Amino acid sequence: MAAHTTALPALSLLVRRAGRWLGGWWQIANFGAVIGVMTLTPSSYSRPQRARMAHHMVIDTAPVLVWFTLLSALLSLVISRIVVVTALSYGLTQYALEMLVRVLVIEIIPLTAALFVAVRCTLPHGEELAALRLRGDLNRMRERGLDPMRHEVLPRAVAGLFSVALLSVLAGVVALVLAYLASYGFTLWALEGYTRTVGRVFSPAVAVVFALKALLFSLAVVLVPMGSALHDATRSRMSAEVRGLVRLFALVLLIEAASLAANVL
């Protein structure tokens, strides 16, 4: 009887935590649906709204564009050189380029861009929104007849999506160029074969999986921090940030595992 009595509070606590966990993910999903509808609504792109979106796009992307390009170029060059030298030593040169494209462009670059944007942009945006919520600024905007989701949240969300897409594309192009240079040097004689290799790697199925992964990464790094900041019931700002960070990394790992499984199958 004593053991049964002791187990009841533990079970009740577990149920409450599971309920809060599911409720948090449901709120993030609902937040994502609201942002998706607003993004597809023409009224969200009035002249003042476009100005706010452009402002956030510039301040989120421009300061990190050069640094991220240089860092991704350095990472791509180091990995390309290691793979090429290792392939030469084992007589597997014919597989080096294909592996470089798969590892760099399909796996590492989208993940790196998403995490970089999350740390640089969307997590700070979540902190800003949490501060606005805790101070009551969002409620005061509603009292003045303004929609805080449209005026404060949507521009930040669109800027985050834009930043992930731009950095992923730019870093992918840089990685492809450096992989070619690391393999063949400054010459054009191997360009045709290299293009065929890249095309063979990006089969229709792999291209679809890659596009879906990039899209899901973008949505994850935008929706999870902001949704957690806006809808977590806790009054502690730090607790909301930690929860958002944990949810973000869990979702990113899940997306990456799903994409790896899809490419293997």
Q: For 175-215, how does the pLDDT look when each residue is reduced to its tens digit (9 = 90+)?
A: 888 888 888 888 888 888 888 888 888 888 888 888 899 89
Q: For 219-254, how does the pLDDT look when each residue is reduced to its tens digit (9 = 90+)?
A: 999 999 888 888 765 555 555 667 778 888 889 999
CA distances from 19 to 51, 57, 163 (A): 40, 36, 34
Radius of gyration of the chain (CA): 23
Nearest partner of 64 among 195, 160, 140, judged by Cα: 160
Nearest partner of 176 among 116, 121, 100, 237, judged by Cα: 100
Whole-model pTM: value is 0.86
Q: Which DSSP state fits 186?
A: S
Q: What gap in Å lies between CA 213 and CA 21, rounded to an integer?
A: 24
The burial class, CB within 10 Å (0-12 / 13-18 / 19+), for 206 is middle
Rounded to 5 degrees, what are φ and ψ at 190? -100, 5
Instruction: Tell the residue number behind the tokens 């992964």, with chain if given.
Output: 213
Rounded (10°) angle between helices 93-100 and 154-184: 170
Longest Cα–Cα distance of the chain, Å, equals 82
Over 72-123, what HEC string results?
HHHHHHHHHHHHHHHHHHHCCHHHHHHHHHHHHHHHHHHHHHHHHHHHHHHH
Per-residue confidence in pLDDT tens, the chain, 265 aa? 445 555 566 667 677 777 777 777 888 889 999 999 998 888 888 888 889 999 999 998 888 888 898 998 998 888 888 888 888 787 777 677 888 888 888 888 989 999 899 988 888 888 888 888 888 888 888 888 888 888 889 999 999 999 999 999 999 899 888 888 888 888 888 888 888 888 888 888 888 888 899 899 999 999 998 888 887 655 555 556 677 788 888 899 999 888 888 877 7
